[in-house]
């Protein structure tokens, strides 16, 4: 039990709001539950959540010690009362998650409990599949990342062996990733291969195409095929043969077919006409090729997974089923 004394600056606040600020890791749903169960007391007695505090009041908190830790990225999962995940596939070793545009995979340098990894860890902790107090080093982790405004399949490993294998397979290009994108215009030819060199300006967080090798520029290869054209837009599938920052976005723009909604590499005027502010790009399909031994994940060899829906594909092209 921990006891807090209400100071002059905190007087006048509601009980629940005072506790929420004093114990930022405590999920809102759990806070309200603990007030109802009288695990949060005012002056040693149960109290309503909306009671106003006075200077000198004492608040008793019968709450687990971990909620009193300083908020950090690695304990952000504690704040997640109800995990929000769209699960494509799950087994004892991994999760395949459909990350929605706007969601961060990890925090961007600031403590944030709304990230995908925080929700994954909360989900597994609440299921009892991950017991952080019993682990010395391991925590469930994401094996790949997707930009905030891009959606698609993200792999999460539930144990250290799966994490090691998946990281190796991703590094060795034994997992195929396919993206859908909506682009401006009609690609010519309708199917092909984009191959050049990409240079990343870290200060600007922007990537530039180079046609010839130069220091700092890395080879980038993308295969594409046009699936459908409606008016000024085309629906294109891209297969990554390399995995460079902003690869599809910058290569398609350089080829003359910028992504709809892409504020960094696309057309501001074109995006404004459609009312789109985030790039129309989705990692919609994933295949475990595994040409080499996969250890405990051998059962995944040759299996393929897809998300159920890509909003821009349905909105602009009428594509409701993704069996393309």
- Find tokens 């009193």 and name the residue: 68
Residue 52: pLDDT over 70: yes
Tokens describing residue 249: 């976005």
Residue 324: pLDDT over 70: no
Q: Same fold for the domain at 2-68 and the one at 175-289+307-317?
A: no
Least confident of 63-77, 158-172, 176-190, 226-240: 63-77
Q: Give phi and psi for 252, each to the nearest 5.
A: -65, -40
From CA 164, how far away is CA 167, in angstroms rounded?
5
Where in the chain are the domains?
A: 2-68, 73-171, 175-289+307-317
CATH class of the structural domain 2-68? alpha beta
Instruction: Name the CATH topology of 73-171.
Output: Pseudouridine synthase (3.30.2350)
Tokens describing residue 33: 């539950």
Average pLDDT, rounded, for the chain:
94
Residue 136: pLDDT over 90: no
Predicted local distance difference test score (pLDDT) of residue 135: 86
pLDDT digits (tens, 9 = 90+) for 106-129: 987 778 889 999 999 999 999 999
CATH class of the structural domain 175-289+307-317? alpha beta
Rounded to two decimals, the pTM is: 0.89
Tokens describing residue 11: 């007087």
From CA 156, how far away is CA 140, in angstroms rounded?
7
């Amino acid at each position: 039990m921990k006891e807090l004394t209400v100071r002059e600056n905190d007087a006048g606040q509601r009980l629940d709001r005072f506790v929420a600020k004093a114990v930022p890791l405590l999920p809102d749903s759990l806070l309200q539950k603990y007030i109802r169960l009288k695990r949060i007391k005012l002056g040693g007695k149960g109290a309503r959540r909306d009671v106003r505090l006075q200077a000198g009041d004492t608040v008793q908190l019968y709450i687990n010690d971990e909620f009193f830790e300083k908020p950090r990225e690695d304990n952000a999962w504690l704040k997640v009362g109800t995990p929000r995940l769209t699960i494509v596939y799950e087994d004892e070793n991994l999760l395949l998650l459909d990350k929605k545009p706007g969601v961060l995979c990890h925090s961007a340098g600031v403590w944030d409990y709304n990230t995908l990894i925080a929700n994954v860890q909360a989900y597994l902790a609440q299921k009892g599949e991950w017991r952080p107090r019993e682990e010395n080093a391991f925590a469930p982790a994401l094996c790949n990342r997707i930009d905030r405004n891009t959606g698609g399949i993200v792999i999460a490993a539930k144990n250290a062996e799966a994490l090691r294998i998946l990281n190796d397979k991703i590094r060795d290009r034994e997992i195929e990733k396919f993206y859908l994108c909506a682009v401006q215009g009609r690609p010519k030819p309708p199917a092909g291969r984009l191959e050049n060199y990409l240079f990343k300006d870290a200060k600007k967080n922007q990537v530039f195409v180079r046609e010839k090798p130069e220091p700092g520029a890395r080879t980038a290869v993308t295969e594409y095929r046009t699936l459908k054209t409606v008016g000024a837009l085309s629906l294109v599938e891209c297969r990554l043969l390399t995995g460079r920052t902003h690869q599809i976005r910058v290569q398609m723009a350089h080829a003359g077919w910028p992504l709809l909604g892409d504020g960094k590499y696309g057309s501001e005027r074109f995006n404004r006409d459609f009312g789109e502010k985030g790039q129309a790009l989705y990692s919609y399909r994933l295949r475990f090729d595994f040409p080499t031994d996969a250890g405990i994940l051998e059962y995944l060899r040759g299996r393929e997974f897809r998300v159920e829906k890509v909003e821009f594909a349905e909105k602009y092209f009428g594509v409701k089923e993704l069996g393309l």
